[in-house]
Chains A and B, each alone.
Chain A
Amino acid sequence: MTSGISATSVGVVTAEKILIDRPLTLACGVVLPSHELMVETYGTLNADKSNALLICHALSGSHHAAGVYGDNEKPGWWDSYIGPGKAMDTNRFFIVSLNNIGSCFGSTGPTTINPESGKPWGAEFPVLRARDWVESQRLLMEHLGIQCWAAVIGGSLGGMQAMRWALEHPDKLANSIVIASSMKLTAQNIAFNELARRAIQSDPDFCDGNYLENNTAPRRGLALARMIGHVTYLSDELMGQKFGRELRSGTFTQGEAAPIEFQIESYLNYQGEKFSGDFDANAYILITKMLDYFDLSREYQNDPVQAFGHANCDFLVVAFSSDWRFSPQRSREITDALIAAGKNVSFAEIDSDQGHDAFLLPNPRYEEVLGNYLSRVADKLEGTA
């Protein structure tokens, strides 16, 4: 382990590019003859391959969920919860984290080459549904020789995948952990996503999605999209505490003409700017649409109880009090439907002022609920419960 990395970190990790050399039929009808996935794993797979956890990322996530790529590098996006002795304990579980297709961190998606045209897919990448991610994950599961996940875990869009897994492959997971998620987006949620897409599409550098061919990128549009999203991921309360009306520059003194910039403006601009260099605009459009289209019970007569009737696994549902993008009420609806369907489910509403982002951030109660749940899962696997 590299110096300066704490004992509860998985340490230095490396990602692997895995070729899934089998056709993947997407919900839209398009068949990808093969696809590539960037994958990281943490911990050790046990002899009967029963201790595997699948991590499902959300809108902007990647395969880099834990550990670091080297000294002074930023840890993975769920590092607070993955590591030795952490809620997702790498001493007990083998954890699989991938970058899903259609995203832009090295897995097949809008920025990779379409073998048919020899050019980047760009805006031509087929429309995706959450079930396509689940199907791709299932092919990865086969590739790894895993028969059944000990748990499939995800927050936000990740929770949607965890639920879809339970319905599509009831015998291939023992637990589904659904965090800060929803069975379908509300109109307000779709509205925010459309604002983000419109911001990207309005950037002259978007070039109808073919910006890569033109050696450019709609960075201003993508930055604005991220800024809109970011506001919705935080709570009013937290923004007030963190930034209030503090000024970054300028002054209100009469007679002074220097331009004023509030701290929140500076923060949002920084976040937008940073994101626009890390993420791909077409992937953002693709994945926000995936979120919009998701409706857990659409093909179950719009009845969530009937939908969950197909599940065989146990569920843990977690929500955060100040999350207004995926409000606790959405998680209560999931829980109620699971109870009505007679499934094992526990639900905790964690008190937090961090808004939707809370699912990524350290929080003692959240850590304990998740840790207790998974510890029991591990006890069962190890034959001590």
Chain B
Amino acid sequence: MNPVASRGQINDSIHSWVKPNSRVLDLGCGDGTLLAQLQKDLHIRGYGLEIDPDSINQCVAKGVNVVEQDLNKGMANFADDSFDTVIMTQALQAMRFPHLVLDEMLRIGTQCVITFPNFGHWKARAYLTLRGRMPVTKQLTYQWYDTPNIHFFTYRDFEALCRERNIKVLRKQFVGEHFLDRQLKNLWPNLFAETAVYHLSK
């Protein structure tokens, strides 16, 4: 498994879905790497929301707009449709109420891009089935008691939620690094996609 390469695949998708010169809000933007790339390649006007002080410092050092804000406390400060794209990468599973965050993202943005770890991946299933313990993988490195990832869900769970809330799936992409994953991720995504990337609209 090569997390850097899979991040590259994910970023390629995001790059092709975000429009040049558009307004982008990145929720949980980390050290600002994605926004810096989008700024450089697509000349977007980007803002990241983040709560980790070190990440905020790194964003500032990179020249990425970063706003200290706790997503779990809501995003009422952003007006409806005030962004072209709202992005959230690998953070939905760490939100207190993912479904409400999703609603907020679609209220603020015309379109959304979401990536999340697919808990239905065979490695996670095998870990739980064979060891009888909550999976600890290279992608999900935490123990059950200290993990920030408080909601585990599969890509099917996510699609069911989208149907329930009338969210349109414009595009989706499945990412996996293992040889098996690469061969089979589009055939049986729930089993072979390690990460799911979704492009959504209202």
Contacts and interface: CB of A to CB of B under 8 A. Distances in A.
Interface of A: 316, 332, 335-336, 339-340, 342, 344-349, 351, 365, 368-369, 372-373, 375-376, 385
Interface in B36-54: 45, 47, 53
B63 A349 contact: no
Contacts of B23: 342
Contact of B65 (A346, A365, A369, A372): A346
User: Interface SS of chain B: helix, strand, loop or mixed?
Assistant: mixed
Contacts of B68: 347-349
A376 B66 CA distance: 14
A373 B65 CA distance: 11
A368 B77 contact: no
Interface string B70-112: 0000000111001000000000000000000000000000000
Interface of B: 23, 45, 47, 53, 56-57, 59-61, 63-69, 77-79, 82
B60 A369 contact: yes
B65 A345 contact: yes
Nearest to B82: A340
A151 B77 CA distance: 27
25 contacts: A332-B69, A335-B67, A336-B78, A339-B47, A339-B65, A339-B67, A340-B79, A342-B45, A344-B65, A345-B47, A346-B56, A346-B66, A347-B67, A347-B69, A348-B53, A348-B68, A349-B68, A365-B53, A369-B56, A369-B57, A369-B60, A372-B57, A375-B61, A376-B61, A376-B63
A345 B57 contact: no
Contact of B67 (A342, A345, A372, A385): A345
Nearest to B59: A346
Nearest to B62: A376
User: Interface SS of chain A: helix, strand, loop or mixed?
Assistant: helix
In the A-B complex, the 5 residue pairs with the closest CB atoms: A372-B61, A372-B60, A347-B67, A336-B77, A349-B68
Nearest to A333: B77
B77 A332 contact: yes
Given A342-B23, A345-B65, A345-B67, A373 B60 contact: yes
A376 B47 contact: no
Given A342-B23, A346-B56, A369-B60, 7 more contacts: A340-B79, A342-B45, A346-B59, A347-B66, A348-B53, A348-B56, A372-B57
Contacts of A339: 47, 65, 67, 78, 82
Contacts of B65: 339, 344-346
Nearest to B63: A376
Contacts of B60: 316, 346, 348, 369, 372-373, 376
Contacts of A349: 68
A340 B23 CA distance: 10
| Best-surrounded residue of B64, B66, B68 (most CB of chain A within 10 A) | B68
A351 B70 CA distance: 14
B64 to A, nearest CB: 8
A372 B56 CA distance: 10
A110 B79 CA distance: 46
Given A332-B77, A340-B82, A346 B57 contact: no
A342 to B, nearest CB: 6
A375 B63 CA distance: 10
